[in-house]
Structure 1
Amino acid sequence: MTDISPTKLTKRSVDAAQPTANRYVVWDSELKGFGLRVEPSGSKSYLVRYRAGQGGRAAAKRFLSIGRHGTLTPDEARRKAKEVLGAAARGEDPADDRARFRAAPTVAEIAKAFLTEHLKTKRKPSTLANYRRAFDLHILPSLGRKKGEEVTRADVARLHHEMQSRPAMANYASAVLSSMYTWAAKRHFVPEEFNPATKVGKYREKQRERFLTAEELGRLGQAIRKAETEGVTWEPRATKKAKHAPRPENRRVTINAHTAAALRLLLFTGARLREILHLRWEHFDVGRGLLLLPDSKTGKKTIVLGAAALQVLASVPPIGAFVIAGEGAGTAGEKPRSDLKRPWELVATEAGLVGVRLHDLRHSFASVGAGSGLGLPIIGKLLGHSQAATTHRYAHLDSDPLRRAADEISERIVHAMGGSGPATP
């Protein structure tokens, strides 16, 4: 690489620099160490020459490219060159800093390590699946290619804002990202205490409450009985072509005894879906009428069974390790059933339950208990809540204790006023 006589680098002088058979550099006459590199192809880029470390003749001479001409103007390139030369004068090595930054992991690389090295060994499979879904669907498409330490709070806030139509998921994605950065800082993937996901305001989440009424529970019971006996009809989805769909008279589907039992156990126990689908016969204490779950969302859990649930369990034919027969039931490779989406859709449609989720059966169990005045602590124990605040969402349904309290207080006030009947002004 040859040099030519220094000249002030301006737009005119840079445009006038013509390519030759060999690469050459035009050094700026005003800022020592700032230059323009001209390639034989005609490509032009700005560079800085400096001595690393403490400077002086003994220090190594380093070259650092700062950008192409066209992307940068000569004045913009000169300002960048001053920053590099200033850093070198302070004993820093900008070239090493750039190399370190290039070697720094991206958000996608940090996420992969976070999932495999941390979550896979320390969290439940369901938690791992939820985190992975948040990364794959939301975080990585937006931030995956950025260097981990390059992400700003503004980037996270922008992602959060783009998901405003789904506030709960937006808040969850932000929390997942924050958790990843806390771990990454401990592993030195990013600078210590660096976490751009902190202090990003959360959206207010509307807690979804859907409780089945007594009339809806009646329709649901009829629909389950019909589905396991004569069968229920189904209609092709409007989004799919129905050209080869069976005739209406042939669109009748039945559910087996295990599927019906799963739906009834969800209703009669208030258990979570996975707690029922992953339930093994060995977890069932027949003598005491208990389900002794070794693991659940809140850890080890005991479910007290009522008479209806016990009757369901007594009617289920045991054909494998799992109460609700799954894939390969009764074989060495047996797996629990993965979901109840299709049968629930059939039964809910037959019962006319629009927008009701399987998890709403758990809410309905709690709502019946609260409406019967059983008290929130008892309901919390039945549901396996680890915190009383979780059960408090059903407090507005527990009206009987409040009404009794209001009656007692008003009676005392009436008595104090010297009357025995309703107080009058």
Structure 2
Amino acid sequence: MERAAAIDLDTIDLTAIALPETGELLIHDANAKGLVLRLRASGARTWVVLERVGGKTTRRTLGSVRQIPLEAARRMTAALPAVTLATPDAPSPAPLFSPDARISDLMPRFLASGEKGRWKTSTVRNMRAVSDTHILPLLGARRVRDLTPEEVARWQLDVAAKSSAIRMALSTLSGLMLYAEDHGLRDPGSNPCRGLRKKQRSKRGQILPTDTVRRLWATLDKLHVAMPDACDAVRLLLLTGARRSEILSLEWDRILGPRAVLEDSKTGPRTIWLNAPARAILDTRRETHSGQYVFPAARIDGPMKVLDRAWALIRKEARLGTLRVHDLRHHFASVAVSNGIDLRLVGQLLGHHDIDSTLGYAHLATGALMRSATRVSERIDRSLRGEGSRPPLRQPTRRAMPAPAPTAPTREATHG
């Protein structure tokens, strides 16, 4: 592992720093003690906080550099519970594990690392359950460095044949292998769980009809005086594709210009990108809401927790049938994919942890792919004809056809 001296990260392009040929490179931020930019040969660029706990240096991963800006990473580091943050000149601690450590040796420390606020309590409970039931009995005696993709594939089939918890079990084992990489027990990028599906891919997503979106927006305008918080929350859900919990718990100091940087979400730290209509809603709310939360609770100190009652009234007034609040997120993703936005970018917009979660929308990309294929074939056809960038010749028609009447722009493009 290479180590660099502390430097002012404001002075460099974080996405242009050369990656190490092997292993990883740690670059310490001179302006935030303990904050480290970790570069891996695999291409990963992540924020890591080094902490000194009980005389030992431990790492806490904040998230991807592409999703968390430098200033946000510095604030997140400053907001961590009081610990002694490590410096680049601190002596390297003795390794926590033997090179021959077994899966049963790592699992307790791996789970303990998540209990310190990295994962939600329910997540830790489920991970501990699948570890005790499916991982340790079958793989616990294996040396961490020796576990192969073939063994994991066989283990996955065995567990899937008798339990529906295979998705959580595979995620837990995969996380354990990444933990092993962080502690030098496996080579970077050698996770034997890579490429195995954590869940079945299914078609998802539905573009709401234009009339439905128009009725919903008109209903939000109509009911705004009676329940402004709920109506604004629904507007932001429709405009950003964010999860309900992410919008309702949003804090003002997490909003940085065109984005909201969340320290925690369902999949960890992530960024919500705010388009112009969304920013206009927030600017209007900021004039009358000066507390901590964008959507404060009515009777207690904290954010709004639920939208169920308000959504039932909105849904009835707009004649939306059984439409769920979460369907607004599916609509956002469906519009994005159908208009040719790359699935990986859509996944970043939605805050998906992995591409498998986004691939459920792949069937909606057919139209965009066909348009792209047509453009490519036309360009190839022109080059074969030696016509350069000129459009292909058209055969004259006997009778000119009337031009189609222009169609009015839909609100879907604005509010989808």
Q: TM-score range by the shorter chain?
A: 0.3 to 0.5
Which has more radius of gyration? 1
